[in-house]
Amino acid sequence: MNPFSLSGRVAMVTGCNKGLGQAMAVALAEAGADVVGVNRTSADTTRERVEAHGRRFFDVETQLGRTAPGDIVTRAIAQAGKLDILVNNAGTIRRAPALEFSEQDWDDVINVNLKAAFFLAQQVARHLVDREAAGRIVNIASVLSFQGGIRVPSYTASKSGLLGLTRLMANEWAAHGITANAIAPGYMATDNTQALRDDPQRSAEILGRIPAGRWGSPEDLGGALVFLCSDAAAYVNGHALAVDGGWLAR
């Protein structure tokens, strides 16, 4: 049996209508999983790409941070029948100097990136425990889970907190057969980094530090995610896997 196969499993992926989330949803489908997408808007392109691999796609349109996580999980299970995997990918970012950063920008980021991620994981874990089923939780952290960054105080705080919560989840839920790990993407070519890539000086500074010499692509995360969700990673727990082209090694 292929230890990397996800056949027969259902994965919930938040924020998968484009970018990193879409690429990860497709990678899970390629490995055999059905996918529940949790998005603010419809994810028609993701649906098409998932179904092209012969897998089912279920759409839960909602806004994280404003909808009760229990309701999201209930809606997902009503469509898919069960959940085996949660990928906490949805996130937002606000940029401003720390001396000028607003409380609203702090709350907007923390509510989605940290609070919603924890309580969604809590609901999925309860579902797994009730089923007496093993499961996988993968939180999408960041290289800023390890570094301070600049001009992104709430994002840095949320991603640092998410890494800490990943370790807590691993400690508490391993006894139930649930693993919790994180992927820490580096500088990826997504909407969140568009402003940086459009700034010639800042882009050059970033690329100059990445040993791989390029921005990451969403597809670069697929292999890491499938591994952490698979039986091949059954004894990997509380770990943060950096997918950063070598950024943290520099």
pLDDT reading at 13 higher than 90: yes
199-226 average pLDDT score: 96
**Residue 191: predicted pLDDT:** 87
- C-alpha to C-alpha distance for 240 and 237, rounded to whole angstroms: 9
- C-alpha to C-alpha distance for 83 and 248, rounded to whole angstroms: 33
What is the per-residue pLDDT across 96-150, written as a single tens digit (0 to 9) for each?
A: 999 999 999 999 999 999 999 999 999 999 999 999 999 999 999 999 999 999 9
182-196 average pLDDT score: 93
pLDDT band, residue 1 (cuts 50/70/90) = confident
- Helices 153-173 and 103-110: crossing angle in degrees, nearest 10, is 30
DSSP-assigned states of every residue in 53-73: TT--EEEEE--BTTB-HHHHH
182 to each of 20, 33, 41, how far by Cα in Å? 14, 19, 25
pLDDT reading at 26 higher than 90: yes
Query: In terms of pLDDT, which residue wins out, 236 or 66?
Result: 236
% of the chain at pLDDT higher than 90: 96
pLDDT reading at 192 higher than 90: no
> Would residue 155 show up in a list of annotated catalytic residues for this protein?
yes
Q: Domains for the chain: give ranges and CATH numbers.
A: 10-242 (3.40.50.720)
Q: What pairs with residue 138 in β-bridges?
A: 87, 181
| Beta-carbon contacts of residue 64 (< 8 Å; ≥ 6 apart) | 14, 15, 38, 40, 72, 90, 112, 116, 120
What is the per-residue pLDDT across 145-165, written as a single tens digit (0 to 9) for each?
A: 999 999 999 999 999 999 999
The phi and psi torsions of 184 (rounded to 5 degrees) equal -110, 90
Q: Which of 155, 173, 215, 227 is catalytic?
A: 155
- C-alpha to C-alpha distance for 170 and 166, rounded to whole angstroms: 6
pLDDT band, residue 228 (cuts 50/70/90) = very high
**Residue 210: predicted pLDDT:** 98
What number of residues does the chain have?
Answer: 250
Q: Are strands 178-185 and 57-61 parallel, antiparallel or unpaired?
A: unpaired
